Amino acid sequence: MSPFYHIPYYPAFDKMTPENAAPAFTQLLAEAQAAIDALEKHNTLSWSGLIRPLYDACHPLYDAWGILCHMLSVMNSESWRRVQENVQPEIVAFSLRVGQSRTFYQGFCALRERDKAESFLTAVQRRILTKTIQGAEQAGVGLPPEKQARFNAIQMELAKLSTGFRNHVLDATKAYSITLKTPEEADGLPPALLAVAAQAVNDAGEATATAANGPWRITLDTAVYLPFMMHSRNRTAREQLYRAYATRASSGLSDNTQVIEQCLALRRELAELLGFQTFADLSLSTKTAKAVAVVDSLITQLANASYGAGQREASDLLTFARQHGFTEDTLQPWDITFWAERQRELLFDYSDEELSRYFLFPHVLEGLFSFAERLFDIKITPADKEVPVWHPDVRFFRVADKDGTPLACFYLDPYSRPETKNSGAWMNDFRTRDRRPDGSLQLPMAVLVCNQSVPVGNALPVMRFQEVNTLFHEFGHALQHMLTTVEEPDASGVNGIEWDAIEIASQFMENWCYDRATLKGLSRHAETGSELPDALFDKLVAAKNYRAATAMLRQVFFAATDMDLYARYPRPEWPDADTVKRTNANKYSPTPLLPEDRFLCSFGHIFGGGYAAGYYSYKWSEVLSADAFAAFEEAGLGDDVAVRATGRRFRNTLLALGGGEDPMDVYRRFRGRAPSIDALLRHSGLSATA
Ligand SMILES: [Zn+2]
């Protein structure tokens, strides 16, 4: 039996292969089709007579599909891609068939009417039903046949384009590297990077390389690219690499230029078919921000608070560089990261490299867990070897309530594997909390995927501070998924939460990386074993807001470009998507973009992922998460009793209620009032009162 066929609670990851995936999908599809057909004929107007059986009919197929997509994202290969590409059209067709069933739609509406009269649904069920009806409407259930056929063709095409977009970026990232041959060419690179870069040469079997004598292979993988741009004194190589990075997936076989225009055009058409003016209107109709004007106003407020400071940061950096040997009149894009790191080192007197010696991965993990245990009254226990995993580096943990009641479990796939793993970091839900009709309870299961630096040889697994931050972020998502108390699978954990509210818990967790007790608790020097000294912590906090306006404006630039592309493009003055990007860069970016910049071609969030007309969600959530953290500050971060009480309230509201209630109402329950933008500006040092 294929390990993809009716996947057990603990999937047999070690037995899954592209070869045994395909036949399972044929069977699962047939079974799901048959179950759906039967349910259309025989259903009753109740939760257990319609909604639950519908979930159960689709679940084994969607479950297998989710796991297949997971395997592709962490173990990418030609054969996994082929299976995914073959199965995808059938999944899309199946979900459209369910979503567009008039029988089900009429059933949902009738159920809603019955509930209005008799009020037998729970509040959570009512919310799920409302969203299901909206979902059916947005899946084209009300369209006449010829429009529905077009709608389906568009959905199919969009799914293909989005997968293609991601694969292009991965291919382009893999295809490029430069090899440095002499120590002069590798000048400035920290030892850890030299080791990774020499290892890459050895792995490719091109030569016998050593960290000390090279050669060193530098790639566009973020874990290599970023430290290289920060530290390399080889300006020519920095320029080469920057240009390659900024033009990824914009030419040759992995060119995304047309994919972008096709995505935009198809999404415009999709929105029109459903009666929306723009795709942004369609996208926002299911988000908490609700309207384009609300997003525009957020963007304007953030831009206004940061623009002046951003320009000052740019001119300060140029002055600094010129005082330290830079002889030209303007800093090029490939100079900025390098000089910013030099300025940061001098201003705050520590290096990213030096700081990373305090963050040993196993100890960071232990610290993160005991922090979560203190704040949320839970217990986390390693349980490696109890379950199969997809790669030897993957860890497994169990989560219990303070009294020992099991709550959840999760996998952690920590290290970068540029050859086979998508870049970035993410959390997936494999299982969600579910009280089944027979009364049994399924516990949530999460997976955290990171791309942190790989220890080479006998080197200790140290983490860059940014990687610690990312781990906290993904763990925040996982906590929200695992500590849910909702028992309807469509609204438990991270399910059913409006897209633009999904980053609140994750970004909230990042704030704790700047809390003294928390950070010291997870630090231990790789060589001396000592914890992070107070003086270094103070510098880290001071450095946090270093170039904060520049960082803010970068996110504003992305969010504004996304909104323009999906709400206002095309226009006569905007012949192509790249012009929209350039217009926004001129408006918001304190330093000009390279004329050849083709950043949109690797902007996977809005073309290869779910952030189309939703990129603003990051800032929107940041406003809320900063304001949530401010509740702890107001309670007094040094006051253990107050912090625990506030943490408990956070668990009982934001982490527990998930998609079972409007996120804005949940937020008000935690905070006692609507969110305010002030805390974010204060934390970033951008408000008058900072
Ligand atoms: Zn996130």
pLDDT in tens, 484-532: 999 999 999 999 999 889 989 999 999 999 999 999 999 999 999 999 9
CA distance 285 to 291: 7
44 burial type by CB count under 10 A (0-12 exposed, 13-18 middle, 19+ buried): exposed
CB 426 within 8 Å of CB 473: no
Going from the C-alpha of 648 to that of each of 300, 392, 541, the distances in angstroms are 35, 35, 26
* pLDDT of the residue at 347: 87
Distance between Cα 36 and ligand 1 center (Å): 34
Q: How far is the CA of 476 from the centre of ligand 1 (A)?
A: 8
Question: Cα(260)–Cα(243) distance, rounded to whole angstroms?
Answer: 20
Cβ count within 10 A of residue 383: 13
**Region 645-650: what's the mean pLDDT?**
97
List active site positions: 474
3-state secondary structure (DSSP) of residue 434:
strand
Residue 680 binned pLDDT confidence (cut-offs 50, 70, 90): very high
- pLDDT tens per residue across span 619-641: 998 999 999 999 999 999 989 99
What beta strand segments (E) does 367-440 contain?
Answer: 378-382, 395-401, 406-415, 426-431, 434-435
Q: Between 142 and 61, name the one with better pLDDT.
A: 61
Q: Do the beta carbons of residue 471 and residue 634 sit within 8 Å?
A: no
Instruction: Output the CA 504–ligand 1 centroid distance in Å.
Output: 8
Task: Please list the residues that pair with 426 across neighbouring strands.
Answer: 449
pLDDT of 458 over the 90 cut: no
Predicted confidence at residue 349, as pLDDT, reads 84
pLDDT tens track for 357-370: 999 999 999 999 99
Confidence of residue 688 (pLDDT cuts 50, 70, 90): low
Q: What is the mean pLDDT of residues 272-276?
A: 96
Residue 615 CA to ligand 1 centre (angstroms): 12
Give the span between the Cα atoms of 169 and 601, in whole angstroms: 8
Q: Could you give the percent of the chain with pLDDT greater than 70?
A: 100
Residues 168-173: what's their mean pLDDT? 94
| Mean pLDDT for the stretch of residues 397-404 | 97
- Numbers of helices and strands, H then E, in the chain: 26, 9
Beta strands 445-452 and 406-415 are parallel
Alpha carbon of 378 to ligand 1 centroid (Å): 22
Q: Is the dihedral of CA 132, 134, 139, 143 positive or negative?
A: positive
Asked if the model's pLDDT at residue 351 lies above 90, the reply is no
| DSSP string computed for 618-653 | HHHHHHHHHHHHHHHHHH-TT-HHHHHHHHHHHIII
pLDDT in tens, 553-593: 999 999 999 999 999 999 999 999 999 999 999 999 999 99
| CA 125 to mean position of chain CA atoms | 28
Two tokens at 12? 């047999």
- Specify the DSSP class assigned to residue 25: H
Confidence of residue 352 (pLDDT cuts 50, 70, 90): confident
**For range 448-467, the mean pLDDT:** 90
Compute CA distances 668 → 219, 633, 642, 662, 681, whole Å: 46, 17, 19, 10, 20
Q: Residue 563 has which token pair?
A: 């909104």
**Rounded distance from Cα 621 to ligand 1 centre (Å):** 10
- Residues, Cβ < 5 Å to ion ligand 1: 503, 506
The Cα–Cα gap between 262 and 155 comes to: 12
DSSP 93-110: HHHHHHHT-HHHHHHHHH
* pLDDT at res. 631: 97
Please give the single-letter amino acid code of residue 501. A
Other C-beta atoms closer than 10 Å to the C-beta of 522 total: 26
pLDDT computed for residue 348 by the predictor: 87
Radius of gyration of the chain (CA): 25
Whether the per-residue pLDDT at 689 is higher than 50: the answer is no
Tens digits of residue pLDDT in 279-299: 999 999 999 998 999 999 999
The contacts of residue 180 (CB under 8 Å, 6+ apart) are: 186, 197, 214, 215, 216, 217, 218, 234, 237
How far apart CA 485 and CA 434 sit, in angstroms, is: 10
User: From the CA of 198, how far away is ligand 1's center (Å)?
Assistant: 32
**690 pLDDT above the threshold of 80:** no
CA of 670 to the centre of ligand 1 (A): 21
Which among 588, 528, 594 is positioned nearest to 557, based on CA atoms?
Answer: 588
Q: How far is the CA of 470 from the centre of ligand 1 (A)?
A: 9
- Calculate how far, in angstroms, residue 477's C-alpha sits from the geometric centre of ligand 1: 7
Residue 459 phi, psi dihedral angles, 5° rounding: -60, 150
d(CA 141, CA 104): 10
Cis peptide before 570 (omega within 30 of 0): yes
